[in-house]
Amino acid sequence: MSQSLSKILVHAVWHIKTTSPEIEKEDRYDLYGYMFGVLETISCTPICINGVGNHVHLLFALSKTHSIATVVEKVKTSSNKWLKSRSKYYEDFSWQKGYGVFSVSESVCPTAKRYIERQEQHHAQIDFQDEYLQLLQKNNVPYDINHLFHD
């Protein structure tokens, strides 16, 4: 083949450190916009970003030249620095080291997008830990419960 082509849709999720201040509601829109821009600069096509005060979900098309680990590290590092520069409130802000990443087929992309867009309503009924366990189980991701929710 003379051309390299790909379309890999990714649902990524990560949480703040337990010692971190939560992301204020009034700052979330700007944070997600910033993350959108970071994805675009590394040739990942952002589809949807949303979350609540203690975690974030991203849906994007993975660049054909970057690994998932590189993309997640870039978005987390950049957004962490950006949020800290926003106000004194965030001087101790930090994301947890880990993350969850799940493949999304083109046929269920609209469903995944809707799920991410409705995070606030969703979390009126379920906390992050239960949500994350459901995502891991739904995607058959092996995990050690003793190491899931520690900084």
Assign 99 to helix, strand or coil: coil
Q: What is the pLDDT of residue 77?
A: 98
Q: Domain for residue 148, yes or no?
A: no
User: Tens digit of pLDDT for each residue in 95-113?
Assistant: 999 999 999 999 999 999 9
Q: Indicate whether 92 belongs to any domain.
A: yes
Q: How many structural domains is the chain composed of?
A: 1
The pLDDT, as a whole number, for residue 147 is 84
pLDDT over 80 (residue 151) = no
Element spanning 79, H or E: helix 68-86
Residue 149 lies in a domain: no
Asked whether residue 150 is assigned to any structural domain, the reply reads: no
Q: What is the model's pTM?
A: 0.93
Map residue 112 onto helix, strand or coil: helix
Domain that holds residue 98: 8-143
What does each C-alpha distance from 4 to 63, 65, 69, 121, 125 come to in angstroms?
Answer: 11, 10, 20, 40, 43
8-15 and 45-52 beta bridge pairing: unpaired
pLDDT at 150: 73
